[in-house]
Amino acid sequence: MKIEKQYYKEHPTFHVAVDSIIFGFDQGELKLLIHKRQFEPAKGEWSLFGGFVQKDESLDEAASRILFELTGLNNIYMEELQTYGEVDRDPAGRVISVAYYALIPAKEFSEATSSQYGATWVSLKDLPPLIMDHNVMVAKGLRRLKRRATSQPIGFELLQGEFTMPQLQALYEAIYQSELDKRNFRKKILAMDVLIKLETKDKSSSRKGAFHYRFDQKKYEKLVDGGYIFTI
Amino acid sequence: MKIEKQYYKEHPTFHVAVDSIIFGFDQGELKLLIHKRQFEPAKGEWSLFGGFVQKDESLDEAASRILFELTGLNNIYMEELQTYGEVDRDPAGRVISVAYYALIPAKEFSEATSSQYGATWVSLKDLPPLIMDHNVMVAKGLRRLKRRATSQPIGFELLQGEFTMPQLQALYEAIYQSELDKRNFRKKILAMDVLIKLETKDKSSSRKGAFHYRFDQKKYEKLVDGGYIFTI
DNA sequence: TCAAAAGTGTTCAAGATACACCCATGA
DNA sequence: TCATGGGTGTATCTTGAACACTTTTGA
């Protein structure tokens, strides 16, 4: 253990941060969760949610912890997006930042904003300038979201629990920023055969009401294990 | 500058390494460049090419530098793949590793092995066990390569310069590990309209000889800028 | 002259797209 | 009763998949 320690010690160490691109979906719009930075530099400016990795946690754990601390949300779908390591990306010192991308289910949407840290959902259409390279991270996150959406039923992550076909369609329209034909959309989604149609209806947006659906997690996992690739 | 420095200093720092998954293509096979580790722990075991990030370089720069130092190759296509940060992934201490994926053009293939560091090309079919989580990294790199290959003319990175249709097809067959119909393959590739057919022939593999092609970089960039998505 | 790889078109099936009307309901 | 959003089927086009023979040439 001595030789290696010595060899490792010849090399520098760095602060490692995690920044999360948190997408949500509300009122027909795709949104991003941001807040005003609590510390210098750039205190008070718009920023992604982030924080420093600690000694006893993995990167994934750090991302989850920070999301929980700042929004109270747990068990959120997160995945690593990209690591940013330009020498001068942070004016206050060398920080290597691992960007994560996360999807907040609609039902937890409002809870996320009740935090003490001033979390705010902003529409992606009018995203303000963010600190440092955070706008670059968001652009990359959006690209990933779009790609994911074409090959995985990612929509279900954003709409956990019960949802209606028109809601699911609106979500995909928000992601692609284009309109879809509702007959073709239904056909494709139902052809995947991973939805359970419920007896209940959602009447919040029409007199007739739209049937609730639920995502059949077990069926989905079976298909994926069997090598099935979703295309939406 | 004082407040922030103080805030940053409350947080731990980490060794940050770069490990490269280097793909090459030779004799109809997809290969990976590895070597025997030069230092403890796990000295002498098979490992990806890697090293520690230094103070004055970005992650991308570190990856390029390390590739150059260990193989003498420059200007190689590299992109970040994923960052690995499990607490105990390195038995000798906490190291966060950024995995890169790289494609070595066929014509530089043999030069890569002439290094003093014992670089060796191994077929992906019989990959030996690698140290730590390097096998996981390779698996992820392979998935990325396959996906990239379906949506970008990545083959041209691996076959830089002049190549023939049969060579290009062999490359895609190696990536997908399945056989392709040569008529359909030609049709698709030529439909992309980014290849220049040359007058010369490669006669190394048949009496008749196969025409050389070259990738039309400018045409390709124009198409991509115009939003075109390649599908192979 | 023949062996060995290069080169070439057409048919068919499946999947994607375009498109218009009836239904249920509460106000 | 009517305005509003929910729900449904068919025809057409596009795309990918399957498939066999001719050409060139050096040995």
Which is nearest to A101 in space by CA: A26, A161, A24, A174? A24
Strands (E), chain A: 13-26, 29-36, 46-47, 49-52, 77-84, 95-103, 120-123, 163-164, 195-202, 210-215
- State residue B103's pLDDT score: 84
What strands lie across the sheet with A210-215, from one edge to the other?
Answer: A163-164, A210-215, A195-202
Residues B124 and B158 in one domain: no
Which range marks the domain in which residue A172 is found? 154-225
* Nucleic strand D contacts from chain A, 165-224, CB < 7 Å: 165-166, 182-184, 186-187, 201, 205-211
Neighbouring-strand partners of residue A120? A34
Tokens of B63: 């990856």
d(CA A203, CA A208) in angstroms, rounded, equals 7
Query: Is residue A164 assigned to a domain?
Result: yes
Query: Is residue B230 assigned to a domain?
Result: no
Query: Is residue A196 assigned to a domain?
Result: yes
User: Is A133's Cβ below 8 Å from some Cβ in B?
Assistant: no
**pLDDT per position as a tens digit, A97-120:** 999 999 887 667 676 665 666 788
Query: Is residue A232 assigned to a domain?
Result: no
* pLDDT band, very low/low/confident/very high, at A2 (cuts 50, 70, 90): very low
What's chain A's average pLDDT?
Answer: 85
Q: In Å, how far is B9's CA from the nearest CA of chain A?
A: 9
Query: Is residue B175 assigned to a domain?
Result: yes
**pLDDT per position as a tens digit, A74-95:** 777 889 999 999 999 998 889 9
Residues B159 and B126 in one domain: no
Asked if A20 and A49 count as a contact pair (C-beta separation under 8 A), the reply is: yes
Residues B161 and B120 in one domain: no
d(CA A75, CA A63) in angstroms, rounded, equals 11
Query: Is residue B2 assigned to a domain?
Result: no
Query: Is residue B218 assigned to a domain?
Result: yes
**How many domains in chain A?**
2
Element (H, E) at A28: none
Asked if A95 and A89 count as a contact pair (C-beta separation under 8 A), the reply is: yes
Residues B141 and B176 in one domain: no
d(CA A63, CA A44) in angstroms, rounded, equals 22
Residues A27 and A95 in one domain: yes
Residues A168 and A190 in one domain: yes
Asked if B16 and B25 count as a contact pair (C-beta separation under 8 A), the reply is: no
Q: Which nucleotide is nearest to A169 (CA to C1')?
A: D6
Per-residue pLDDT of chain B (232 residues; tens, 9 = 90+): 444 466 788 899 999 999 999 998 887 788 899 998 877 777 889 999 999 999 999 999 999 999 888 877 777 788 899 999 999 999 888 999 999 998 887 667 666 665 666 788 899 888 999 999 999 999 999 988 887 877 677 777 777 678 999 989 988 888 888 889 999 999 999 988 889 999 999 998 899 999 999 988 888 777 766 666 666 6
The one-letter code for the residue type at B226 is G
Residues B126 and B139 in one domain: yes
Is the C-beta atom of B200 closer than 7 angstroms to strand C?
no
